[in-house]
Amino acid sequence: MLTPEEVKHVADLARIDLTPEEIEKYQQQLSRILDYVGKLATAQTDGVPTADGGTINLENVWREDEQSTANNQQPTIDLIKMAPETSGGQVKVKNVF
């Protein structure tokens, strides 16, 4: 069983504020789910490689690092428009420090 402190810690890492009621609810639910997925510990995996990177035969795909679109500002303008707060055609961000 996860402790309330562990739930709070993982929520902090995930950048989600939780109310005390939510901490209690997720404590129960996450513990049950982790118990279930934890049964994987019984699977024999000695020497088994991890299935990294997709699931079909992979091959490298190379291309030249060239600009592929014309000098069109519209896509940039459209993308910036979707940000909650903008200033002078740029996305406005709070002070990081």
Whether residue 26 contacts residue 42, with contact meaning beta carbons closer than 8 Å, is answered with no
Residues 6+ apart with CB under 8 A from 23: 4, 7, 8, 11
Min dist. Cβ of residue 26 to other proteins (A) = 7
**Residue 27 makes contact with other proteins by CB under 8 A:** no
Q: Residue 90 forms beta bridges with which residues?
A: 87
Distance separating alpha carbons of residues 86 and 92, to the nearest angstrom: 5
Min dist. Cβ of residue 41 to other proteins (A) = 7
Neighbours of 23 (CB within 10 A): 17
Options 3, 5, 29, 89; binder of other proteins; rule CB under 8 A: 29
Q: Which of residues 31-90 bind other proteins (CB under 8 A)?
A: 32-34, 36-41, 43, 45, 48-57, 61, 63, 75, 78-79, 81-85
Binding residues for other proteins, rule: CB under 8 A, are 7, 10-18, 22, 26, 29-30, 32-34, 36-41, 43, 45, 48-57, 61, 63, 75, 78-79, 81-85, 91, 93-96
